Amino acid sequence: METTWNHATVLLNEAVDALFKDGANDFAGAADGTYVDATFGRGGHSRLILSHLSPRGRLIAFDKDPQAVAESAAIADPRFSIRHEGFVHLGELPVQSVTGLLMDLGVSSPQIDNPARGFSFRFEGPLDMRMDTTRGESVAQWLATAEVNQITEVIREYGEERFAGAIAKAIVARRQERGPISTTTELAQLVADTVKTREPGKDPATRTFQAFRIFINAELEELQQALEASLDVLQSGGRLAVISFHSLEDRIVKQFIAKHSRDAYDRRAPFAAPKVMKLKSLGRIKPSDEEVRGNPRSRSAIMRVAIRTAA
């Protein structure tokens, strides 16, 4: 029998409210707009967005994961469509066509909990970690040929791991002695044997697994490209809401919103008119204590919200 993997959508109501509401009420024309759920996952946000739309409203979803795309087939709604690709393709949408854009950057529970996907050090499985299993190179395939300096850079940059060099050397030494690492538990044990100290309650492999997942899926590069594209596709007054789950993502989102939330002056031309700000920050939202108690995986989530100003 096929296993059903459950997923609890993080900041469900808060995210959708950020797209639709001014205070307690939907803003004018919100129900007739075109919205984008840039990471469909298991469709929690998408289904709630659809419940807010009029017959004229539209929802476009993106997801690289073929299992997520298959899940979307359960939504029999003519207002809904999905694209089997990452949100790096957001810029292909028509200019100023989007009323609200939601980006939930978290890995879904079905991806983490399914050992076959290779995302978790808690389960024995192939060392894959690709969001899109139909294309690209798995972590195991990359580690089979990567040099020590390459592995070190990835672990240090994307995992913020102070033992990056030691872990990279151990991976290459293991490859030379016994062949490449092919499973999640092999990698987790190697890291545990290499990293002798770690924060209480945190598995030694946490940062390394995060680093390899971010790298193999080009997550930060795609995020930066999608954020830049949002400035083109969002209508004046359109909302941007981004939910991140670790400091690397949140830093990119925070800096992007801050950069475009102020008038920019050209120091080389001090008397020229400034470039007008493109975004207005509406602040950040974190999960409630009640949500964290019910879904511990939400505890690190931060949602930042901004509105597209007049172009």
CA end-to-end span of the chain: 53
pLDDT at 266: 47
Give helix then strand counts, H and E, for the chain. 12, 9
Domains and CATH numbers, the chain: 12-109+219-308 (3.40.50.150), 133-216 (1.10.150.170)
What is the residue-wise DSSP string for 147-210? Answer: -HHHHHHHHHHHH--TTHHHHHHHHHHHHHHH----BHHHHHHHHHHH-----TT--TTHHHHH
Model confidence pLDDT, tens digit, residues 200-256? 778 899 999 999 999 999 999 999 999 999 999 999 999 999 999 999 999 999 999
Rounded to two decimals, what is the model's pTM? 0.89
Query: Which residues of the chain fall below pLDDT 50?
Result: 1-5, 265-266, 272
pLDDT at 246: 92
pLDDT at 110: 73
